[in-house]
Chains A and B, each alone.
Chain A
Amino acid sequence: MEPEDVKEAVVFKRSGQPLQWGAQVVLLAGFGGMLGLMLFAGIDSLRALRQIQARNVQIRQTFLLRNRALEEIRSALYQSGTLTRDYLLERDAGRAETYRASLQQVREDMQASLVRYSRSLDASEEGPFQSLRSRIADYWKVLDPIFHWNAAAKLERSDAFLHQELFPRRNTTLEIADRIGEVNEQELNNGDEQLKAIFDRFRFRLGLMLAITLGVGCVLAIVTSGQILRLARDAELRYRQVVNARSELKELSARLVEAQEQERRAISRELHDEVGQSLSALLMELGNLGAVVPADAELRRHLESIRKLAESSVNVVRNMALLLRPSMLDDLGLVPALQWQAREISKRTGMAVTVDAENVADDLPEGHKTCIYRVVQEALHNCARHARARSVRIQVVQEGGRILLSVADDGQGFDSALVRGLGLLGMEERVTHLGGDFQVQSERGRGTRLQVEIPLVARAVEAMA
């Protein structure tokens, strides 16, 4: 890993671990607080609204109740005036008695109304109401004597009584009632004022609550956004690290494969050209020795035994060299190497392997040659060992700046959606490293078909450079 990456990783660790607890507390407190405020504001609003409504209803009801009582008192006053006059002017004693009874009834009703009114009496009305009450009491007191009058007295005094006593008293009483009505209206207005005050308080509280909620929300939004951005940055950093690590791994594995290939080539060459050639020369010298030594049977036998040993060593060395890396790949090109490979596999396993090559140049780039050769080698190995194929067909076509390879067998196949062995991965890695495309199609009992497409663009780049 590069030093810069190490630093990045440390920074990431430092910023990654401890901020988690603090952030959790802040987020929990913030969101909890905000939700609490909103809940409180909601409940408070409902409560205040209900209170306002109840107060409103109460004020209206009181007003209406008093108003009605006052109206009743007023109409009772009028009625009493009328009934008194009728009583005084009535000659018939029976009918006069009826008026008297009605008058008594009116008086009781008025008393009841007064009692009803007095129940919801307010401090500001105390004065006018007491004076109304005493006036009414006076009023009735004034009426009391007329029931003791005989017919002559009624006839003689009634007119004067009505105009000088009763009606003026009734009028002043009515005036007081009017004043109380005004006070009552004043009360209503006062109630409205009170309501307005309650409402204003409520509005202020609600506004304050909203402002606080909004403020907390803003802080929370800023904190959360910061946190999310930081997380996103961390995630991106980590993603970049993973991508880097992956590409480094790929590069490393490609380099390993390349190094292995070079090693194989070097050892193969060394075995073939040095060890093999020396053994061949040894064989030759043995022949020459045989021509000059005397025809002694014992000596001949030893020479022959040495020759056999050297011959088998040559074969071993040659086979080892070819298995490591066939010399055809470097000397003759891809197709001869593939054909050799096909023949070898055929010889070893009895599997029929055919190679069809079209327009494949002898001087393919080194990487491409090796890649295709190794892919085919691995594929043939799979065909022989796992697929138990009877025949394999290898096709290599070079066309339009790319190389197409397909290896198809008639073996038992496998589920290519599930199985991805190391061999396949290795092949895919080799191919993708050259910018190529690697595909395997297989089904149980349907054989396997491997398809590779590798662009030759790299070659053009090399040629220009």
Chain B
Amino acid sequence: MNSVRIVLADDHTVMRNGLRLLLERQPNLQVVAEASDGRQAVALTESINPDVVIMDIGMPNLNGIEATRQIVSQNPRAAVAILSMHADESYVIRALKAGARAYLLKDSAEADLLAAVRALTEGKSFFSPAISKILVEDYMRQLENRGVEDTYELLTNREREILQLLAEGKTNKEVANMLNLSLYTVETHRTHILQKLNLHSVPELILYAVRKRIIA
């Protein structure tokens, strides 16, 4: 099995060193490059084409979210994991909208990083349990406060199945292949799901899935 090639982007050298140590203790993980700002991260990713990019948000020159957006727009299959101090939902949704597939908190990096890299190499999404917890709690409180009914009940079994696959990071085409459906049918289901749940994009759908504990 080929080793997973990783680029680290963080403006703190101590942090990068720690991450490199943590990752390289695993035999199949290899840190191929380090970037200390967003612009460098974009350039390195373009030239090296790594399997996973681990990206801080608060960086000079170009912040991690913008860097992620540029990397994903160049290569839609790029797997970017955001590793941030920020535990708030707004950062998570922004990161997901920019194209990140995982969101980790720095203070739990040691515990979550390896699981996140594994999930990304398998084509899945990943969120730090601490993040999932915050998102779920917020969602529960909103349900309580506004007395909103649980829209998940509106979905059919097939729609729930597709929701989970999409939330895990699968493309429409992959979902169609896995479920033996036409691409058109999957797209129609996706539209219905978004409508029923009153969501507007796949990142929101991923957040929803996390809140409902459909995915980790």
State whether B18 touches A288 (Cβ < 8 A).
yes
* CA A311 to CA B85, docked complex, whole Å: 12
Residues of A within 8 A of B12 (CB): 277-278, 281
Given the known interface contacts A279-B107, A281-B12, A346-B141, the answer about A332 and B18 at a Cβ–Cβ threshold of 8 Å is: no
State whether A332 touches B22 (Cβ < 8 A).
no
Interface residues of B in 56-110 (CB under 8 A from A): 57-58, 63, 65, 85-91, 94, 106-107, 109-110
B142 to chain A minimum Cβ distance, whole angstroms, is 8
Select B88's contact among A279, A285, A286, A340, beta carbons within 8 Å: A340
* CA A396 to CA B47, docked complex, whole Å: 43
Residues of A within 8 A of B15 (CB): 277, 280-281, 284
Residues of B within 8 A of A279 (CB): 107
Residues of B within 8 A of A318 (CB): 85, 87
Q: Which of B14, B90, B106 has the most CB of A within 10 A?
A: B90
Residues of A within 8 A of B86 (CB): 327-328, 331
State whether B58 touches A281 (Cβ < 8 A).
no
B145: CB under 8 A from chain A?
yes
Interface residues of A in 1-20 (CB under 8 A from B): none
* CA A327 to CA B94, docked complex, whole Å: 13
A79: CB under 8 A from chain B?
no
Interface residues of A in 281-315 (CB under 8 A from B): 281, 283-288, 291, 310-311, 314-315
By size class, the interface of chain A is 35 or more
Give A351's nearest chain B residue, CB to CB: B145
Give B141's nearest chain A residue, CB to CB: A346
State whether B89 touches A339 (Cβ < 8 A).
yes
B146: CB under 8 A from chain A?
yes
- Counting residue pairs across A and B whose Cβ atoms lie within 8 Å, the total is 93
B61 to chain A minimum Cβ distance, whole angstroms, is 14
Interface residues of B in 124-167 (CB under 8 A from A): 137-138, 141, 145-146
B19: CB under 8 A from chain A?
yes
Given the known interface contacts A272-B85, A276-B85, A346-B141, the answer about A284 and B90 at a Cβ–Cβ threshold of 8 Å is: no
- Interface mask (A20-46 → B, CB under 8 Å = 1, otherwise 0): 000000000000000000000000000
State whether B110 touches A287 (Cβ < 8 A).
yes
* CA A449 to CA B15, docked complex, whole Å: 47
Select B85's contact among A277, A343, A391, beta carbons within 8 Å: A277
B21: CB under 8 A from chain A?
yes
Task: Identify whether the interface residues of A are mostly helix, strand, loop, or mixed.
Answer: helix
* CA A181 to CA B110, docked complex, whole Å: 150
Give B58's nearest chain A residue, CB to CB: A273
State whether B141 touches A281 (Cβ < 8 A).
no
Chain B residues bordering chain A, tally (CB within 8 A): 30
Residues of A within 8 A of B91 (CB): 328, 331-332, 336
A304 to chain B minimum Cβ distance, whole angstroms, is 12
B25: CB under 8 A from chain A?
yes
* CA A90 to CA B11, docked complex, whole Å: 170
A58 to chain B minimum Cβ distance, whole angstroms, is 111
Select B109's contact among A273, A284, A327, A328, beta carbons within 8 Å: A284
State whether A280 touches B22 (Cβ < 8 A).
no
Give B21's nearest chain A residue, CB to CB: A288
A354: CB under 8 A from chain B?
yes
Select A280's contact among B25, B85, B145, beta carbons within 8 Å: B85
Residues of B within 8 A of A391 (CB): 145
- Interface mask (B14-31 → A, CB under 8 Å = 1, otherwise 0): 110011011001000000
* CA A310 to CA B91, docked complex, whole Å: 23
- Interface mask (B25-59 → A, CB under 8 Å = 1, otherwise 0): 10000000000000000000000000000000110
State whether A283 touches B107 (Cβ < 8 A).
yes
Select A284's contact among B19, B57, B63, B65, beta carbons within 8 Å: B19
* CA A322 to CA B90, docked complex, whole Å: 13
Interface residues of A in 326-350 (CB under 8 A from B): 327-328, 331-332, 336-337, 339-340, 343, 346-347
State whether B18 touches A285 (Cβ < 8 A).
yes
Give B146's nearest chain A residue, CB to CB: A352
B140 to chain A minimum Cβ distance, whole angstroms, is 11
Give B90's nearest chain A residue, CB to CB: A336
B17 to chain A minimum Cβ distance, whole angstroms, is 8
State whether A328 touches B110 (Cβ < 8 A).
no
* CA A276 to CA B11, docked complex, whole Å: 13
State whether A277 touches B146 (Cβ < 8 A).
no
- Additional A-B contacts beyond A284-B18, A328-B86, A331-B57 (6; CB < 8 A): A284-B109, A287-B111, A288-B21, A314-B107, A328-B90, A347-B138
25 contacts between A and B (CB under 8 A): A277-B12, A277-B106, A278-B14, A280-B85, A280-B109, A281-B15, A283-B110, A284-B18, A287-B18, A288-B25, A310-B107, A315-B107, A318-B85, A328-B86, A328-B88, A331-B63, A332-B91, A336-B88, A336-B90, A340-B88, A343-B89, A346-B145, A347-B137, A352-B146, A354-B146
